Amino acid sequence: MSVRLCFVVEGQTEETFVQRLLVPHLSAFSVWARARCVLTGRKRGLQYRGGLQNYAKVQRDISVWMKEDRHPDVFFTTMFDLYALPNDFPGYADAVRERDPYRRVGMLEAALSADIGDRRFIPYIQLHEFEALLLAEPHSLDLAFPERLEAIRALSETVELFASPELIDDGSETAPSKRIIRHIPEYEGMKTFAGPLVAGKIGIETLRSKCAHFGEWLGMLEQLGCFS
């Protein structure tokens, strides 16, 4: 049985990643997906999307979409970064005291699920941000930045110090995106294009094997067509 899946994502980089990689991948499992950035404002009839300003806007956007589509064959999920997550998110105060990143993100996802309160909702928060996926195979950055091979090699050596790219921390200067930008400054202005492009070169199977939390989420999404 086929199902539909709606992604509410943080920004354009995640939206492009979902559309280019996850949508075609999930179609093989009879899961027909689409994505849109979280709604952050309206002005003069225009909608503004992208960025997590506060949880109230996230909660409102998810709830409105779920009310608009109440069919039992549609599911909803998120793709938000743990890095710089707004501090008014459900469970935030308790989660920040947890030192283990996997337990911390699990606490936040459980609290988010409880707050939304709908069986069709599958919360996902990326450890620690989208760029961790690119660090699953940093040498693949050469696809977008072929002139930066020495910088990519130095970045790869740094990444090897971590057991998983998902464990690369959320410091203001050491988060995954900050590390990439330090070695490849051009990435900052090209991330919407370069990020999904590089992720595509890395491939779904490498991403899920190197990033356990991402892999668990993807596995749940694949199973929706079987258990709907």
Q: Where are the domains of the chain?
A: 3-127+211-227, 131-204
* Token pair belonging to 44: 């003069």
* Token pair belonging to 129: 């941000």
pLDDT digits (tens, 9 = 90+) for 39-70: 877 776 667 678 898 999 999 999 999 999 99
Nearest-CA neighbor of 189 among 155, 145, 146? 145
Nearest-CA neighbor of 106 among 210, 209, 9, 213? 213
Give the percent of the chain with pLDDT over 90.
90
**Residues contacting 119, CB < 8 A, separation 6+:** none
**Domain 3-127+211-227: assigned CATH number:** 3.40.50
Helix axes 176-183, 187-202, angle to 10 degrees: 110
pLDDT digits (tens, 9 = 90+) for 70-80: 999 999 999 99
Which residue ranges of the chain lie beneath pLDDT 50?
none
pLDDT (0 to 100) of residue 46: 66
Classify strands 74-81 and 125-126 as parallel, antiparallel or unpaired.
parallel
What's the DSSP call for residue 2? Answer: -
What kind and span of H or E run contains 101?
Answer: helix 101-116
pLDDT (0 to 100) of residue 51: 84
Inter-residue contact 140 to 134 (CB < 8 Å): yes
* Token pair belonging to 216: 């668990």
User: Rg of the Cα trace of the chain?
Assistant: 17
What kind and span of H or E run contains 4?
Answer: strand 3-9
Burial of residue 44 (number of CB atoms within 10 Å: 0-12, 13-18, 19+)? exposed
Look up the pTM and report it. Answer: 0.95
How far is the C-alpha of 27 from the C-alpha of 39, rounded, in Å? 26
pLDDT (0 to 100) of residue 215: 98
What's the DSSP call for residue 38? Answer: P
How far is the C-alpha of 180 from the C-alpha of 192, rounded, in Å? 14
Identify any residues that bridge with 34 across adjacent strands, giving them in sequence order.
Answer: 6
Q: How many helices (H) and strands (E) does the chain have?
A: 11, 7
CA dihedral (44, 48, 52, 57) positive or negative: positive
Phi, psi (deg, nearest 5) at residue 118: -145, 130
pLDDT (0 to 100) of residue 56: 94
